[in-house]
Amino acid sequence: GGASGEATEGTTDGGMSRSSSSSRSPPPRRPDNISSRALSAYTTLTTECERVAKYKFPPHKFNLGECNTSRPLPHRYKFKVYAPLVFARIRTLFGVEKQTFLHSICGKFNFYEFASNARSGQFFFYSHDGRYMIKTLTHAESKFLREILPHYYRHLTRHPATFLTHFYGMYRVCMPDANNQRLHFIIMRSVFH
């Protein structure tokens, strides 16, 4: 349920609900003189780049922290995963195993923040094992990256030895019980690992 365009896919264990939708941002400009087969592939890629998986976490049902210092999450959380299949394919393309990725990002470990003089004023964190960097994004940055995602994905698949940053996932967390705070962030490969 929820906003229009959402199609509920069910409820997972522990009361966490999940839904999926395609965002309503305008699609990237379609190339001219494209064959029907290429157009179908282009349309499919564009659709997948616009897909959004949504999860809801009720308060006090999920714990945060190490086992002996674990405490329940105090607020409701809404979590969006942007273009989940596209980023999963990018991770596969570069040999990132799902379990290793999840352990680095979702394990019960602390992240390491480091100072940055980025003009956007956003924050950077390292995963505990140094494999990945997490960067907070402004809403405008998140929207821009989603708009160029089809072009970025095609470039990576055609040029896997590229020096472009490897983005492995883009997300948004919303906390309705905490002044509706929203945090956009992206996970990328650390250049130091």
Q: Which residue has the higher pLDDT, 190 or 18?
A: 190
pLDDT tens digits for range 167-177 = 999 999 998 77
Category of 58 on φ-ψ map: left (φ > 0), alpha (ψ -120 to 50) or beta? beta
Q: What is the pLDDT of residues 96-144, one digit of tens each?
A: 998 888 878 776 655 555 555 556 667 788 888 888 988 989 999 999 9
Mean pLDDT of the chain: 77
Specify the amino acid at residue 181: Q
CA-to-CA distance for 175 and 152, rounded, in angstroms?
30
3-state SS, one letter per residue, for 137-157? ECHHHHHHHHHHHHHHHHHHH
CA distance 71 to 20: 29
pLDDT in tens, 1-28: 333 333 333 334 445 555 655 545 454 4
Asked if 137 and 186 count as a contact pair (C-beta separation under 8 A), the reply is yes
Cα three-residue angle 192-96-141, rounded to 5 degrees: 70
Q: How far apart are CA 133 and CA 187, in angstroms?
A: 6
Q: Residue 105 corresponds to which tokens in the numbers above?
A: 């990002």
Find out whether 100 and 141 touch, Cβ atoms under 8 Å: no
Question: 3-class DSSP state for residue 29?
Answer: coil
User: Is the C-alpha dihedral spanning 33, 36, 38, 43 positive or negative?
Assistant: positive
